[in-house]
Chains A and B, each alone.
Chain A
Amino acid sequence: MKDFSKNILQTIERKNIQPLPRWIFFAQQAGLVGAFLLSVLVGGISVSVILFSLSDAVETGMGRMMRMHPGPFLFTYLPYVWVLVMIAFGVLAYVEARHTKAGYRYRMATIVGASFLASIVLGGLLHAAGAGRLVDRRFAEVVPQYRGLDARKMHLWMHPQEGVIAGRIVSGSATTTLTIEDFTGMRWIVETDAVVSRGTIEAVPGERIRVFGSVVAPGVFHATELFPWTKQGAMMIPERFDGRGMLMRERKMPLRS
């Protein structure tokens, strides 16, 4: 080891090795922290879509639907894609945090737990602001392969022989009879004289509704319960349609049932 330090300094000089500039280390750390925050944000958005989807399933009468079609019910209301996205970005957040300067000081469970907790809190806030629904619909519009909650629900609510139908109102009244067109294009006369409304039904043409009841004759459905297509509540945006069936949105509080 004689003259060891001299040899190293000579090597450094001969190869013209310079200390890397400080900004590179700063940028590296800032990049990691930024990527971690971005992962938490994507996790939060995923949670907001999951909450939006789950909250749509939690309302009167849905227990019956779950018993009738447990598999499709879960497939419809638990958005697996977003659960996978949330898990993937949770793992990514861990990897990014672990590579920051002080990341190694924390246990995996601490980092993963903290990132998921942050995503859940953020997701709750985004869901309360209506972001979950917007993200779900926007993805359905721009990503052809993505099946949003609407598309998944259509299949679940198309079992007239088992007492459930859904579609768009063509005409009629929520207290006598409604004519609706289901998602296959078939028209139904829905008897609504003894119906219980679960949520705000405006009964305007183009409005989508879900119905519990039974088929009493070909093309005639006796309704016992009416549901708006999407569950409504505080900060939710009920669907409204113009006379041509075009979707309009209106913020409406409080809930009118």
Chain B
Amino acid sequence: MTDHGQCAEKTDEELVTLTLKDRELYACLIRRYEAPLARYVRRISGYSDDDIADILQNAFISAYRNLNGFDPSLKFSSWLYRIVHNETISQHRKRRARPQTVSVEENDNVFELLASEVDVARDADRAMTAMRIRAVLDAMDPKYREVLVLKYLEDKDYREISDILQKPMGTIATLINRAKKQFRNKVEDGPLSTIR
């Protein structure tokens, strides 16, 4: 197996090139992305760890198979997020039901950032707990939830979100604006505790 020091010095794109010559180096890319991608899948789907592991395994194998099709004009991370996103959607379809809850860590302070970014009622309680924000995200349309997760929880810029969701940047901007509006409305519509 590869050692971690050897991986750390390489960029994603270099590792892609090296993986095509030596399969073992693919482990570097897997180790680099398994944790953030697992968190991302959990945030948009609320699946269990086992389900997430299955999704990631399928996604990493699919990425390996399509490695020669990686477009260097994209960030490798965007390309990989896209594959994982598509695999998650595919799992949703197979189960014929969308997840009911969005799983978040209680101490995840990015949720406070989300509440601040979308300018939730200034006179309302700004220190929203992760649980309360989770309730709002659960109640949102999936298409709006996924752009908010990518923008505020995964910290992706518009270009990256566009590349992940394969939509024009203008459409992404529109979706984010509508998502923020829906988020605000759901916060202001009533006690968050009742949204769940």
Interface residues of A (CB under 8 A from B): 1, 4-9, 11-13, 17-22, 24-25, 101-102, 104-107
Contact = CB atoms under 8 A, between A and B. Distances in A.
Given A19-B20, A20-B69, A4 B56 contact: yes
Contacts of A6: 1, 27
Contacts, number: 73
B144 interface: no
Contact of B171 (A11, A101, A107): A107
B86 to A, nearest CB: 13
Interface of B: 1, 20, 23-24, 26-27, 30-31, 34-35, 38, 49, 53, 56-57, 60-61, 64-69, 71, 73, 162, 166-171
A5 B38 contact: no
A5 B64 CA distance: 12
Given A1-B53, A105-B162, A105-B168, A12 B23 contact: yes
B57 A8 contact: yes
Contact of A5 (B27, B69, B71): B27
Given A4-B56, A12-B23, A25-B69, A104 B30 contact: no
B48 to A, nearest CB: 13
Given A4-B56, A9-B27, A19-B20, A104 B66 contact: no
Contacts of B30: 4-5, 8-9
Contacts of A22: 68-69
Q: Closest 4 A-B residue pairs measured CB to CB?
A: A5-B30, A104-B166, A25-B69, A5-B27
